[in-house]
Structure 1
Amino acid sequence: MLHIDRWKRILIIGLCVLGLAWAMPNLFYKRVEAHNDAVAAIEAAGGSATPEQQAAEAGWPGWLPSDLVNLGLDLRGGAHLLAEVNTTEVYKSRMDAMWPEIRQRLADQRATIGSIRRVEAPEGVLRIEIEQPDQIAAAVSAVRELATPVASLTGAGSSDIEVSAEGRTLTVQLSDAEKRATDDRTVQQSLEIVRRRVDEVGTREPTILRQGSDRILIQVPGIGSAGELKALIGTTAKLTFNPVVATGSDPQSSAGVGNVILPDTENPDFYYTLEETPVVTGEELTNAVPGTDQNGQPAVDFTFNPSGARKFGAYTSANVGQPFAIVLDDEVVSAPVIRQAITTGSGQISGSMDFDGANRLAVLLRAGALPAELTFLEERTIGPELGQDSIDAGRIASLVGLLAVIGLMVASYGLFGVFASVALLINLGLIFGVLSAIGATLTLPGIAGIVLTIGMAVDANVLVFERIREELRTARGPARAIERGYENAMSAIVDANITTLIIAGILFMLGSGPVKGFAVTLSIGIITSVFTAIWVTRLLMITWFERRRPKTIEV
């Protein structure tokens, strides 16, 4: 009997209405986008809003869905960067950080090994000269006690440092296993910090992926240029607080092992000689916000975590009256004299910066410092005009394909072709509804998946209609023919779409970037097209049949 239960009819209609409601905001893309941006800005400002933000918020009813399909880089325009992480400088930082601990360990054995001093060595290598060469084995043994196991599966059973000796010189460097583990951690940390920096500026759906062993792919839709993106993420924003050894215009006057000579930000001809090992680093910051100094000039206020606050307070208490350098990316931002102990765990960075620079510095410090410098191997800027051209081309291709399919179905199957065409339009709405609901990003390959879905969506209807034609020759009446047509076509419909869905899943798992976008839209299109072909078209046919009660039908 040709029949669909009432609860099934309500469920089918409800799903269609819900999907079309989620897709509707995409018809008013710019208005809804402005509404969403205004809502986010008002929430971030604690409820206060400018007149422009209030107008944008009122431009779309709050009770309607407001989720949009995010446009990818090729549709919206934006910036594309391929960066390489320079992991070698991390080895030097590790060795510099180990020097105070090694110095203390060897100082405890001064009675036997004599005096010690650090000597020049290549980057990433720590060399120490001891006074008593016959005690070099004892020194090696003492330093090896500081070694720890490598924290990675590939380096299991290995130590993190290698210690060797020649004459009276002790050499310490990272082991090969530790270097591999350090490289992996450095790239992963860089990846996360780049993502945090990009998220801070509120861009939509950036693509930030690791490529190979030491490269990062960064694609950010909606940003002005590749230069703007490089300015945001290319700065290491490495903040340290170092003791000042000496100052002057001659950079080599007080050079020595364990010291570093850095220029002043405002006066490049003036140099500071600093202890290379910092007292506190930017990693111990918990917050950084733009503000103003006592003269009303732009500044950045920062706060330390408890560990940083203790070290900062202890040092300032013991060094009242001494200068203390604030170093940002190997330049001395300021070197104030410590007037009194600072135990509150907060401070301020001021200097030659404008308000935009203060805001950008605050963003970088909140996101954290890059563990290593990034070298940009490839950069491209995709203008919004090119993105709009891609959207227009995709719209034309979709419209042409849609009209061609509808024309063919109506010409081939008459009224039943009209039912299939209505289901096809609902299917397109459901695709965009699902994409909006899951926050997917639409790219040119994604549009290709939608166009392909338009052609494939009527395949199930063609199978059903052809089976109905066959059943009309033998079945008892049109109702029985329609019912048996759906029953006999079901296995072929399921087989064809499951195999296509499996292929789409493989593309998603093994592909990257554009291939994933194609696979997502194709998978969603397959599911919605099966739903509309089997249930929506059938509901339209049954509703028509119940109203007209035809004695014969033509397909």
Structure 2
Amino acid sequence: MQNKGLIKVFAILFGLVCLYQLSFTFITAEVEREAEDFARQKVSENVEDYSAIRDAEEQKYLDSIANNEIIAGITYNDAKGKELNKGLDLKGGINVILQISVKDILAGLANNTNDPAFNKALAEADEASKDSQDDYIDLFFQAFNNIPDAKLASPDVFANKTLSNEVNFEMSNTEVEGIIRRKVDESITSAFEVLRKRIDKFGVTQPNIQRLGNSGRILVELPGAKDINRVKGLLQSTAQLEFWHVYKNTELGNFLGQANNVLKNIVNKDSKKAETQSDSTATDDAQSDIDELLAESEDTTDVSTGNNPLFDLVQGPGFQGGPVLAYFSAQDTAKVNDYLAMSQVRSLLPSSQRYAKFVWGIPKDESDAVGLYALKGNRNMEPPLSGDVITDAQQTYDQMGRIAVSMQMNGRGAKIWEDMTGQASNQQSNIAIVLDNTVYSAPGVSTGAISGGRSEITGDFGITEGQDLANVLRAGKLPASADIIQSEIVGPSLGQEAIDSGIWSFAIALVFVLIWMVFYYGKAGLFADVALALNILLIFGILAGLGAVLTLPGIAGIVLTIGMSVDANVLIFERIKEELAKGKMQKDAIKDGFSNALSSILDANITTGLTGFILLILGTGPIKGFATTLLIGIATSLFTAIFITRLFIDGYGTKGKSLEFATGATKNLFTNVKIDWLKKRKMAYVISAVLLVISIGSLAVQGLNQGVDFVGGRTYTVRFDQDINPTDVEEDLVEVFGSAEAKTFGPNNQLKITTKYKVNEESTAVDNEIQRKLYDALQSYLPSDLSYDDFNAGGAGKDLGIMQSMKVGPTIADDIKNDSFWAILGSLVVIFLYILLRFRKWQFSIGAVAAVAHDVIIVLGIFSLLYKVMPFNMEINQAFIAAILTVIGYSLNDTVVVFDRVREFVNEHTSWPLGKTVNVALDSTISRTLNTSLTTLIVLLAIFIFGGESIRGFMFALIIGVIVGTYSSLFIATPVMYDSVSDRSKIESKKKEVEEDKEVTA
């Protein structure tokens, strides 16, 4: 090996750089451990809200020493910014995919038109998007173009005042489409920037936000975020700030009393039920019906009867002459909205107030009572002043010492604000400050017009809420609503458990591999162990240096790399042993062994790497973490095996010492293997055919246990304080949700609960509704002192309640399933082309793809057969797809090594018949195949047993894949390759074989 000195220097420097990168992680861990100890000593465990108070004290400690020098000028803040990033499953936090509503953007560009063609196209696009992979804007244009004579350049659509500089009446639909696509993309980019600014101010370390293609989807990862509801509010708040004049309750007279009387008669008369519709469906004679109802209900209001639909919901009146009409319970607001939207009720308003807009305030004090306001609307329902005039916002305090948010407007806003406040002052009235259709405050103006453009929002909110509000106003409003279509929330305690289980599996697997290599290869195995230790250091160092995220599947990828990295050393050592057996000197045997093994090593790792790249491109979150560590592991294992191991072996040999590549127990293992593998192929075909038929039959009849990744829905990991019978829980949940599934997940006191209840609705309100229903349904299984808030927060330090949750909308579930299919198909195509290019014969490609397809179908079949009986989760989800792609890579690894030896023997022994070449190739690689398979299998078993429940199904798929992959490389890939060779070639091969037998007999 040339340039040994340069390689030594590079290896040492590389190792030192990796240690330096990892030092920040050690510094951060030590400081945070000290912070935990400080908080634990300061806060008594008996105090209420112990977990929240302890976290606050821990953060105070970290803030106080954040900029203090720890070592060599490094502060905690410096180290925190450079530490090894941990994913959600190791640190806790939230991972969401937001869908920016392209529908809202289109409607805004069309000035919320009532054009029938436009709205019909939107409705059709809504329906088509549920099952289509196309972007929403493509579906909209397809639907619009199918409507006869519909023009995008119509003044009622996009040829309006807003777009007058870009769209004119003469343009064709195709020309307008290009402009609108650009405008939509600009709006999504704007939304991305708004979210990024909000997240930057949130205070979470190492956040990740990225656009996902051109679909309007934005991925947000916030590791370590604990206040999940606050995060959701921050992400989904459109920050639509508006300023409205508001009616005093005295201006509306006895409107609520009249409304109650009308509603009382409507609710109590079955004959009138059909008339309880909104304005859009009111009949032509609605007014005559209203007059009749008013006549019947005149002076009949009697609150004492308990039969007043509206008054029975009132929790208190607004003060006389104030802006609040009345206070209602928050849970009744939807019902009140329905009442106020009825045509019979709306018609009670005089013509001067017919555009009144009813909105709600924020909860009053500590109760859930919210005030009802009536804003002075207009024909277009546009506010006199909107939030786009805000140039700055800060969390402050008002004159009463309450938390407030002060805002500064630009010149245009200041002028309008002065006019509005002047008008309100003259009329002794109020101005409502409305954010996202909620009144935060409605101050009266009595001191004259307010100049300068400064205003203030007050309300019953805390410091963090005030800071968040100022943050979103300063960052700007989202150009459209943002719905969470996929989310994963992991509690911090579950993350720590994942770290603990990951470390255990890592340590056990590493110890086994180190011992095995020494047992099998003696001193050479010890050198391989040193190279393996350096390999692990390099993997973690590179991860830290690149700012990559370490996840639980990522740890699995590293542990799997440990098992697979010995493969390169095994290939090298086996080839050296072959050269020594030929009688070569040790120095020459080592040189030729490394040289001969290089081709197989590169081919095997490149094919595995190709599947890793596909996984990296199409995967998200933890799966991307798995692919990242796998790819880094492949690169570092190649470097350490080819160069570092070689340095040790060459250095040992130059000292004149003899190096055995075996021990007394393993010296003669697999040395005289002579098996007619091809003769056994027919029996193998029969066995495989039976397994394939059973697998395909089970897939057709029983199907697979598809996770929410693929079908949509919500899943919750819930922990109890006692062992739970999942059947009993499932029966209770079915009564509430209609359809639900509960399975033991890990220990017997932990369940994984899945439901498709309201799967098509993705709003935060529906999320909260489902979690409330879940809490109520599980009441009999939970401690009586576990509140709803603590249940959602994972027991608030008690490790009870929802430990992890996940939501996937049906549209994105369909996309995930589609991406998974193309990932598997794409990997097969890439593999076929690579092997065709590398081996120059299509028969090799056919053999490899046949073996891989065989392995994938059998793994799927086993999951289909066993998912109902196995005591662990066997869902088909994104992690399973990662496992399948890894199985593909591993199966190819084995197959390519055999093919490489077949190609070598074909070139070396041109007179050999093909059958003999194949058999000898398999004989010569059997030691490597079994050795690598055994070490990898033991490593996977260690992860399966000790690695945590969340990846147990993932590991089971890999274990089955390794077993089946080893079998297929011996009995499927090579035999199929052999059988695909033309009959003439086989006849000639057979003749050669017969002639050789005659020569031997003679």
Q: Same fold (TM over 0.5)?
A: yes
Contact 2:518 2:526 in 1 (8 A): yes
Query: Aligned partners of 1:543 and 1:63: how far apart in 2?
Result: 40
Aligned residue for 2:239, secondary structure, equals: coil
Query: Aligned partners of 2:400 and 2:595: how far apart in 1?
Result: 82
Q: Which residue number corresponds to residue 164 of structure 1?
A: none
1:469 aligned to which of 548, 560, 577: 577
Contact 2:422 2:450 in 1 (8 A): no
CA gap 1:253/1:245 in 2 versus in 1, 3 angstroms: farther
Contact 1:97 1:277 in 2 (8 A): no
Q: Which residue number corresponds to residue 296 of structure 1?
A: 401
2:382 aligned to which of 277, 287, 299: 277
Aligned length: 481
Query: Which has the larger displacement, 437-446 or 88-97?
Result: 88-97
Contact 2:100 2:480 in 1 (8 A): yes
Q: Which residue number corresponds to residue 71 of structure 2?
A: 61
Q: CA deviation at 1:526?
A: 0.7
Query: Aligned partners of 2:543 and 2:414: how far apart in 1?
Result: 53
Whether 2:411 is the aligned partner of 1:310: answer yes
Q: CA deviation at 1:201?
A: 1.7
Query: Aligned partners of 1:456 and 1:220: how far apart in 2?
Result: 32
Whether 2:357 is the aligned partner of 1:260: answer yes
Q: Which residue number corresponds to residue 156 of structure 1?
A: 174
Query: Aligned partners of 1:201 and 1:459: how far apart in 2?
Result: 46
Q: Which has the higher helix share?
A: 2
Query: Which has the larger displacement, 458-467 or 268-277?
Result: 268-277
Query: Aligned partners of 1:141 and 1:274: how far apart in 2?
Result: 23
Q: CA deviation at 1:381?
A: 4.1
Q: Which residue number corresponds to residue 848 of structure 2?
A: none
1:433 aligned to which of 519, 526, 541: 541
Query: Aligned partners of 1:315 and 1:30: how far apart in 2?
Result: 54
CA gap 1:34/1:89 in 2 versus in 1, 3 angstroms: farther
Q: CA deviation at 1:433?
A: 0.6
Query: Aligned partners of 2:484 and 2:630: how far apart in 1?
Result: 34
Q: Which residue number corresponds to residue 202 of structure 1?
A: 203
Query: Which has the larger displacement, 495-504 or 228-237?
Result: 228-237
Query: Aligned partners of 2:417 and 2:227: how far apart in 1?
Result: 43
Whether 2:436 is the aligned partner of 1:329: answer yes
Q: Which 5+ residue runs of structure 2 have no aligned equivalent?
A: 36-58, 124-153, 256-348, 365-369, 425-430, 662-1002
Query: Aligned partners of 1:296 and 1:225: how far apart in 2?
Result: 26
Contact 1:207 1:218 in 2 (8 A): yes
Deviation by residue 1:68-113 (Cα, 9 ceiling, x = unmatched) = 22221222223455666666566665566899xxxxxxxxxxxxxx
Whether 2:590 is the aligned partner of 1:482: answer yes
Q: Which 5+ residue runs of structure 1 have no aligned equivalent?
A: 37-48, 100-120, 126-138, 161-176
Query: Aligned partners of 1:10 and 1:142: how far apart in 2?
Result: 68
> 1:74 corresponds to which letter in structure 2?
D
Aligned residue for 1:158, secondary structure, equals: helix
Query: Aligned partners of 1:75 and 1:474: how far apart in 2?
Result: 52
Aligned residue for 1:247, secondary structure, equals: coil
Contact 1:234 1:374 in 2 (8 A): yes
- Aligned positions of 1:140-539 closer than 5 A: 146=161, 148=164, 156-158=174-176, 190=191, 193-203=194-204, 204-206=206-208, 219-224=221-226, 226-242=228-244, 244=245, 246-249=247-250, 250=252, 252=349, 260-262=357-359, 268-275=371-378, 276-304=381-409, 309-318=410-419, 321-323=422-424, 324-332=431-439, 333-337=441-445, 344-374=452-482, 381-473=489-581, 477-539=585-647
Whether 2:86 is the aligned partner of 1:71: answer yes
Deviation by residue 1:351-371 (Cα, 9 ceiling, x = unmatched) = 443433322211222333334
1:554 aligned to which of 660, 669, 676: 660
Query: Aligned partners of 1:351 and 1:407: how far apart in 2?
Result: 66
Query: Aligned partners of 1:529 and 1:497: how far apart in 2?
Result: 10
Query: Aligned partners of 1:142 and 1:540: how far apart in 2?
Result: 75
Q: CA deviation at 1:422?
A: 0.8
Query: Which has the larger displacement, 225-234 or 325-334?
Result: 225-234
> 2:22 corresponds to which letter in structure 1?
A
Q: CA deviation at 1:350?
A: 2.7
Deviation by residue 1:10-41 (Cα, 9 ceiling, x = unmatched) = 122111221233234445552366899xxxxx
Q: CA deviation at 1:436?
A: 0.7
Query: Aligned partners of 1:329 and 1:424: how far apart in 2?
Result: 57
> 1:516 corresponds to which letter in structure 2?
K
Contact 2:212 2:218 in 1 (8 A): yes
Q: CA deviation at 1:295?
A: 3.5
> 2:371 corresponds to which letter in structure 1?
P
Asked which structure has the greater RCO (Cα within 8 Å, sep 6+), the reply is 1
CA gap 1:145/1:373 in 2 versus in 1, 3 angstroms: closer
Name the TM-score, length of structure 1 as normaliser: 0.73
Q: CA deviation at 1:145?
A: 6.6
Aligned residue for 1:493, secondary structure, equals: helix
Query: Aligned partners of 1:549 and 1:141: how far apart in 2?
Result: 91
Percent identical residues: 33
- Aligned positions of 1:2-81 closer than 5 A: 4-27=3-26, 30-31=29-30, 52-55=62-65, 57-58=67-68, 60-63=70-73, 66=79, 67-79=82-94
Query: Which has the larger displacement, 380-389 or 456-465?
Result: 380-389
Aligned residue for 1:278, secondary structure, equals: coil
Q: CA deviation at 1:531?
A: 1.1
Contact 2:392 2:407 in 1 (8 A): yes
Aligned-residue Cα RMSD (Å) equals: 4.2
Contact 1:208 1:219 in 2 (8 A): no
Aligned residue for 1:434, secondary structure, equals: helix
Deviation by residue 1:314-359 (Cα, 9 ceiling, x = unmatched) = 3245556222442222234234538566664543323443433322
CA gap 1:292/1:465 in 2 versus in 1, 3 angstroms: same
Query: Aligned partners of 1:22 and 1:62: how far apart in 2?
Result: 14
> 2:569 corresponds to which letter in structure 1?
N
Query: Aligned partners of 2:212 and 2:65: how far apart in 1?
Result: 41
Query: Aligned partners of 1:318 and 1:212: how far apart in 2?
Result: 43
Query: Aligned partners of 1:393 and 1:350: how far apart in 2?
Result: 48
Contact 1:12 1:535 in 2 (8 A): no
Q: CA deviation at 1:522?
A: 0.6
Contact 2:96 2:486 in 1 (8 A): yes
> 2:659 corresponds to which letter in structure 1?
I
